[in-house]
């Protein structure tokens, strides 16, 4: 996919091109700002989705398939890194 290709092609969009990645990213950043959240990349959506799946009781195999990882070892490493980041971030973030 080239940077100019549409993430979501739509014939109804101006010029028929659909929503571009730069437009989506720009809107995402504005939504975070309006919500009072710190700036973040789109990867936060992937992390949120996998956390919701784990919190709902889905096993590592299901999370691995969802994230399209090449192996369970990759998913295990990914989940361990998230846990460490959460522990470190927990000391900085106020509880809601």
Q: Let me know whether 22 and 65 are in one domain.
A: no
**CB distance 18 to 7 below 8 Å:** yes
Domain of 28? 8-40
Provide the domain count of the chain. 2
CB within 8 Å of 4: residues ≥ 6 apart = 20
Return the higher-pLDDT residue of 78 and 54: 54
Do 36 and 49 share a structural domain?
A: no
**Is there a single domain that holds both residue 65 and residue 91?**
yes
Residue 1 domain flag? no
* 54, 86, 42, 79: CA torsion to nearest 10: -40
- Residue 70: predicted pLDDT: 87
Q: Is residue 93 part of a domain?
A: yes
- Does pTM top 0.75 for this prediction? no
Q: How far apart are CA 69 and CA 13, in angstroms?
A: 33
């Amino acid at each position: 996919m080239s940077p100019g290709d549409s993430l979501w092609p739509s014939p109804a969009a101006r010029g028929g091109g659909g929503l571009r990645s730069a437009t989506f990213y720009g809107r995402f950043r504005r939504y975070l700002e309006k919500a009072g959240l710190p700036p973040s990349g789109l990867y936060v959506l992937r992390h949120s989705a996998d956390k919701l799946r784990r919190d709902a009781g889905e096993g590592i195999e299901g999370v691995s398939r969802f994230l399209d990882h090449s192996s369970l070892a990759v998913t295990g490493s990914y989940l361990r890194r998230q846990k460490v980041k959460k522990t470190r971030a927990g000391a900085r973030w106020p509880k809601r």
